Structure 1
Amino acid sequence: MNHIEKNLVKLVAKVAPWLAPFPSAYFVARSGMAHLALPLPVAIVVAAIIETLGLSAVHSALWLADWNATKRKTDPPAPVLVAVALGVVYLAATLGLVVFLEVWPTLATYAPALFPTLAVVGGVNLALISQQERREATVKMQKVERKAARQARRQTQRPTAQLPASNLASKPSGFDDPTVKARQTQSANRAARLDALLTFYLDNPDAGPTEAGRAIGVSRQTVYNYLDDLETAGRIARNNGTVRVLHEDRA
């Protein structure tokens, strides 16, 4: 298989999943018109809702499964079974409208009960996505904090390594003061959270402080304080609720 064929196969593999729901959507719309007396525009909307919910449910299930397969032992697990259950509800709704109503038309009386259920599926799926984004943001922030802590430790250890042995014996008693180390760690953690906040606003310039606080694991008021400090330092610019990060390179 030459290079062109490989690229064509990859293109088909990427496009086909987006085309696959169309036949199912057609039959759902047709069934809605035939058995539920839905007008054509409403039937099209119903079909689109059901199929997009199916796609999103499958995507969420695979996303959460991949997280559970690759996460560290200390990371919280993702509720894959909930996402799978959403996919089952989608499948039941599709089969109910496409197959069951054809076989048992009298079920049309109960079919409208599917629609509130689908609304719940959509809401739960949004919640799963939001929770997973927070999990990933928390892990990312922890990595930044650990990196900052390692850098802080190296900075505190470097002067000691460069001092002669005679000077080490006469170092001040407060050199290893736990209070000093605690302040250094606190400062490193704060710097890591500031970096995490900048990274968040690089991708979400229009996000509010509540959303930013959830993403980096701090309170809304702390986000306001951080934004004030970053703006004073010339690292961000705020305008009508939008936060623009200045001169920050992505990792």
Structure 2
Amino acid sequence: MNAPFPAPPSSPSPSRMRLFCLPYAGGSAAMFRRWPEHLHPDIELVCIDPPGRGRRFAEAPLSDAAALAGQLAEELAPWLDRPFALFGHSNGALVAFELARRLHDRQRTPLAFIASAKNAPSLLAESSLHTLPATALLEAIRGLGGASAGFFDSPELVELMLPVLRADIALGETYRHRAAPPLPALLITLGGTRDACLRGPAIDAWRREFDGPSIHREIEGDHFFIDQRPEAVIAVLNEQLPKLLPP
């Protein structure tokens, strides 16, 4: 099931766990649209559209990870009536991490945290790509990959999405890590075989943020392996998450 977040749950769900998923920069809940039919029946998928995309297109995008995580923590309150896990890909993993900390402060700790294709928060360095003029920023985005060629060929689409992309990039580039006690949750890190952002030092740094078992898996693909091999990502989730539930 793909639940209608941020609206409160509209009907009882037979699932025993909820999986909250956050997309990469410029992405939306639509990137997870085919997941429900492949997930374990105990897992209810809740796709999170950050402000500025999907169901929330009319809302202004947020460029601060702490502010976005704080807003999402409030909105998730009606959904936390059962065990849950948090998943984020790339920038989504950074937001999910800040969200996990805020939920833990409210005595609502995830059973598992899945960091996909993202360097550890403590290793992120400030940068200024988000301050570039529009043309230069678009060229930089083209170099990063992930956006289709049709995106750059559509001035209307660029005009609509560039503020969202700029805010998302700023969110990562201006992030400041703060030390805090490790979270008592299973950590799963996922890296692409052709992506350098999640290797040994980054995996170790992620592990220092959690006080629980950790698992690392390599998925065939580049930084956007989540689009190229979604079935491989889902297979890891189906393998690991149901184990966390009582018999």
Tell me if both proteins adopt one fold, taking TM over 0.5 as the criterion.
Answer: no
Q: Give the strand-richer structure, 1 or 2.
A: 2
Q: Give the helix-richer structure, 1 or 2.
A: 1
TM-score normalised by length of structure 1: 0.21
Q: Which has the larger radius of gyration?
A: 1
Which structure has the higher relative contact order (CA within 8 Å, separation 6+)? 2
TM-score normalised by length of structure 2: 0.21
